[in-house]
Amino acid sequence: MVSTNGFAAHSSTTPLVPFAYEHRDPGAKDILIDIQFCGICHSDIHQARNEWGNSLYPMVPGHEIVGTVRAVGSEVKKFKVGDLAAVGCMVDSCRTCPSCSAGEEQYCERQATVFTYNSKGKDGKLTWGGYGEHIVLDEDFALSVPKNLDLAAAAPLLCAGITTYSPLKHWKVGPGKKVGIIGLGGLGHMGLKFSHAFGAHTVQFTTSASKIEDAKKLGADEVILTTKEGWATKHAGSFDFILDCVSAEHDLSPYLSLLKRDGTLCAVGAPEKPASIHAFSVLGRRNYTGSMIGGIAETQGMLDFCSKHNIVSDIEMTSFDKIEEAWECVVKGDVKYRFVLDLKTLKR
Ligand code: NAP
Ligand code: ZN
Ligand code: ZN
């Protein structure tokens, strides 16, 4: 067994505390990664606090993982010892259903997607995430990290990056399209960077006046402060696609009114409480849909795109003794734009 130190939540109401646990010994197709950096995703907080009602404890959160391969099984082909490797939100799936066969393992039709944490592996044991020293997983679900990217700033690509890249690609965002991004947080700022890089006219919606100048620097052609009276009127019926990256309850009707006929509002944000939509908001043949992370092949494609276009996350480094403070900042929307944990700050 691979003895590992990390931080875990033991209930929805108690803070994360140091925790010792074990990963399996690497099997023939497994790699063992020494984790160097892990991003803090709002999903870590939703799940540790059981806001989605599906939490398993003890929970070692973290699914924006980058590090160095320390050991490889006898049949491993993609990695050798010393390589950089990354892990996102999934570590396994059924691999044979139509979704898995199409490289969309996150939509596994047998409900057999094994998530990086808060999930059980095929051996029935809890999985442990990136707020710890090591991870062991099948090489098929590990990603290669392009060498030209700053390693800490690349970590958030593994969730915030792919979660925004995948729907923007799926709905063919590009030149000639008017695209909105709601919420300038971890996901939102990556969505903004990608939409801009794909050549769309990109409009950032934010509730934070303090983020307006940043949004322009990150690639927004226009920024709309949604706390201002009448903000939606000027843009009514003009958007092809809007990506909703908000983590808390908010009214969808003004955003639906901004869509053109056949335009699409896509949720990636997953607030604790359900949203309500009046039929009149969508009767103009407007689509409301959602998207979850992205498949493994697409995630590698996203990393290669980032390598080519030199795209990483804007990060603030933090340490294990400040996790609770960092989480409170995330909940308040006060992070520019992703916290990343440095595993060197973990006391062993
Ligand atoms: P985050 O960094 O906290 O960003 C959320 C942003 O939403 C904030 O920065 C803020 O932007 C806005 N916001 C927060 N509270 C709001 C409120 N009450 N009303 C309006 N806007 C508000 O979170 P994140 O890590 O990007 O994650 C965002 C959401 O996506 C979370 O729910 C997370 O669980 C979910 N998620 C889903 C997937 C998926 O596969 N679908 C993957 C990862 C994460 P402004 O300050 O600009 O208004
Ligand atoms: Zn995430
Ligand atoms: Zn499957």
Residues 6+ apart with CB under 8 A from 328: none
Q: In the structure, what pLDDT confidence band is assigned to residue 260 with cuts at 50, 70 and 90?
A: very high
Instruction: Return the residue whose CA atom lies nearest to atom 3 of ligand 1.
Output: 330
Query: What's the confidence (pLDDT) of residue 348?
Result: 80
pLDDT of residue 203 exceeding 90, the answer is: yes
C-alpha 4/C-alpha 27 separation (Å) is 17
Instruction: Return the residue whose CA atom lies nearest to atom 18 of ligand 1.
Output: 248
Mean pLDDT, all residues of the chain: 98
C-alpha 131/C-alpha 40 separation (Å) is 9
Ligand at minimal distance from the CA of 102 is 3
| H helix runs in the chain, sequence order | 42-48, 98-101, 151-154, 160-170, 186-197, 212-217, 253-256, 296-309, 323-331
Question: DSSP 3-state assignment of 173?
Answer: coil
Q: Which CATH number is 2-159+313-345 given?
A: 3.90.180.10
β-partners of residue 342 are 37
β-partners of residue 9 are 59
pLDDT average, residue stretch 21-36: 98
User: Which two tokens mark 316?
Assistant: 């603030």
Instruction: Return the residue whose CA atom lies nearest to atom 40 of ligand 1.
Output: 292
Supply the DSSP symbol for 90: E
User: Which two tokens mark 170?
Assistant: 């799926």
Q: Which atom of ligand 1 is nearest to the CA of 250?
A: 19
Instruction: Return the residue whose CA atom lies nearest to atom 11 of ligand 1.
Output: 183
Question: DSSP 3-state assignment of 106?
Answer: helix
Q: How remote is the CA of residue 278 from the centroid of ligand 2, in Å?
A: 29
pLDDT average, residue stretch 159-166: 99
Instruction: Return the residue whose CA atom lies nearest to atom 35 of ligand 1.
Output: 269
Q: Which atom of ligand 1 is nearest to the CA of 43?
A: 34
287 CB burial (10 A radius; 0-12, 13-18, 19+):
middle
Instruction: Return the residue whose CA atom lies nearest to atom 30 of ligand 1.
Output: 269
C-alpha 214/C-alpha 200 separation (Å) is 18
- Containing 275, the helix (H) or strand (E) segment is none
Top mutation candidate among 213, 246, 250 for ligand 1, by most atoms within 8 Å of CB: 246
Q: How remote is the CA of residue 187 from the centroid of ligand 1, in Å?
A: 7
pLDDT average, residue stretch 21-37: 98
Instruction: Return the residue whose CA atom lies nearest to atom 39 of ligand 1.
Output: 292
List the Cα angle 144/346/320 in 5-degree steps.
95
List the Cα angle 333/186/112 in 5-degree steps.
120
- Per CATH, is 161-290 categorized as 3.40.50.150? no
Ligand 2 being an ion, which residues bring their Cβ within 5 A of it? 41, 43, 159
- Containing 321, the helix (H) or strand (E) segment is none
Query: What's the confidence (pLDDT) of residue 186?
Result: 98
C-alpha 108/C-alpha 149 separation (Å) is 30
Q: pLDDT tens for residues 288-320?
A: 999 999 999 999 999 999 999 999 999 999 999
| H helix runs in 90-136, sequence order | 98-101
Pair 129, 70: CB distance under 8 Å: no
Question: DSSP 3-state assignment of 68?
Answer: strand
Question: DSSP 3-state assignment of 32?
Answer: strand
pLDDT average, residue stretch 41-50: 98
In this structure, the number of other CB atoms found within 10 A of the CB of residue 51 comes to 18
The answer to whether the bond into 58 is cis (omega within 30° of 0) is yes
Q: How many residues does the chain have?
A: 348
Query: What's the confidence (pLDDT) of residue 56?
Result: 98
Ligand 3 being an ion, which residues bring their Cβ within 5 A of it? 93-94, 97, 100, 108, 110
Query: What's the confidence (pLDDT) of residue 94?
Result: 98
Q: Which atom of ligand 1 is nearest to the CA of 204?
A: 47
Q: Domain map of the chain by residue range?
A: 2-159+313-345, 161-290
C-alpha 321/C-alpha 317 separation (Å) is 12
pTM (2 d.p.)? 0.98
pLDDT of residue 282 exceeding 90, the answer is: yes
Cα 194 to Cα 191, 207, 220: the distances in Å are 5, 21, 11
- Tell me the backbone φ, ψ of residue 15, rounded to 5 degrees: -70, 165
Query: What's the confidence (pLDDT) of residue 5?
Result: 98
Ligand at minimal distance from the CA of 166 is 1
Residues with CB under 6 A from ligand 1: 41-43, 46, 159-160, 163, 183-188, 206-208, 211, 245-248, 250, 268-271, 292-293, 330, 333
